[in-house]
Structure 1
Amino acid sequence: MKKILMLILSIILGVNVTGCNINISSKNVKIISASGLPAVTMCKLAKEEDKIEKGYKTTYTFGSDEETEKVLYNEEYDIALVPTDMAAKVYNKNSNYEICASIGQGSYYLVTTDSSITGFNNTLVNKDVAILEKNSMIDTTVKSILKENNVNESLVNYRYVNSAPELVTALASGTVRTGVVPETYLTTLLYKHSGLKILTSTNDAYDKTFNTQGGYPQFSVIVKKDFVKNNKKFVDKFLSKIKESIDFVNTNPLQAGAYGEEFKISVKPQVLSKAIKRCNLKFKEVDEFKKNYEEFFAILYDYNNEVVGGKVPDDSIYYK
């Protein structure tokens, strides 16, 4: 009879009852990262952290950018590490994810073998420049920088490619002499073509052009608002763990890269070790970086509003 009563109590309360001890089942937290550097910042957590807070169980997923954006539109995950333009698009789609922190600022670099090119200025006019995906966040950022620098950017011959490996191939083969390349692919490219010169990072050029400090937020942590309401302590602890994880990646890139290989993240440990100083992985809580977000969203919107999902996100996108 006692066993039957215990079973009934377990069903009603949703807990496991053993004698006088009650063990509450853990709440499952679903976390996803888009590809590239956001995934690198999360690999230590996925490898080493079984639990962040008592009563919670975390599960980690690494997806492509396309897969990640789709599941966030459907609100399938509690927390995500994503490119910042995706954060804006998802918010404008369902209004149910808010930005908690920037986990990486601009990590693209202007490189060339053309000695006549000196930066994001008029020396790029009538020159071929390889860049990722037309109307992408980096495409719009570069064009905004050029426009602000009084360059008729329509006279730049953009050579669009669909992936970073394709970008590396185009530059390494000499098919095109100038490009805007993300780390860690830049380090791979420099192995293949040591004659390329790094002129500037998009982050530094952005700061100089728009008179900002700290650059633009390339990657962000977003959290589902419905989840935050009842789990703020967990969210705050998760953010502190992500900060620790980023610090670990910056100081132990070989080990971080080894963790990444286990999760099939396409960043080799030796490459990450060489690239880490240019990856610009820094944790900044949204409170301290809010102005940078607001400026960045406005700049992207002014050039191509579709990059941020059709409108500048309002103030409720920011975690409080």
Structure 2
Amino acid sequence: MLYSHVTPAEKRRLFRERLASGELLRFPGAFNPLSARLIEQKGFDGVYISGAVLSADLGVPDIGLTTLTEVAARAKQIARMTDIPAIVDADTGFGEPMNVARTIQELEDAGLAGTHIEDQINPKRCGHLDGKSVVDETTAIRRIRAAADARRDPNFLIMARTDIRAIEGLDSAIDRAKALVDAGADAVFPEAMRTLAEFEAMAEALDVPILANMTEFGKSDLFSVDQLRDAGVNMVIWPVSLLRIAMGASGRALDTLNEEGHLTSKLGEMQHRADLYDLIDYESYTQFDSGVAGFTVDRGRP
């Protein structure tokens, strides 16, 4: 009932243990707290909270318009709904190194298991669009060093995302990733890798876990979990997939409503009321409410 009974610190500890085991962890992207519950129910390892999804949820493009307050608040709402860890996209850290430091502590307080900070110039843009620009190595290092120095829970995952592959190539991406690991990054998110060989090269060059972004309609092919595992990847995210599927289905349902005047033909595609009630644990709320309403004071006892 209500929120997870696993504390954020325990989620982080268990997450870091599993990450250290070398197994590949799967993090579908949640677009709201309810979808996070569904991800857990279906047996996935964690929840990813995408900056692109948070922007889209507000009806704006993913170009650095969201604020730390908005991201931390929404991420908290999502993270607290499950017993599995949640990782959130913190873009460029919402400012200069001191802002990055504050970002880390805000996200710790919000119950996240980790975050990634990228090396794009602010305002940033989607990692799979052309025309990106990255900061110089010194600035990128300062961001990660500020993040690592600011955290209070050593199990909070600091991940460095680098977008330099699309600008200067794979060798520069590997060099940048090594520098960011030296600055304190616990893991690396090499954005917009094009082939499995590039993931393999990155994994071989680094001694920290790496993450693969399997976003649709982007620069990377959509590799399978088995392919990524064999390439040495430790985490994989599908950041916007559930939102895309939900919005696609919603659009088709609205078309049907316009054309037919009712949604009878769509009943088979809908989540049943019983499944929704099971997902939100409706029965536990009913039992709790009945217990409170039926409570009486025993006035015969001192």
TM-score of the superposition, structure 2-length normalised? Answer: 0.28
Larger relative CO (CA 8 A, sep 6+): 1 or 2? 1
Structure having the larger proportion of residues in strand: 1
TM-score of the superposition, structure 1-length normalised? Answer: 0.27
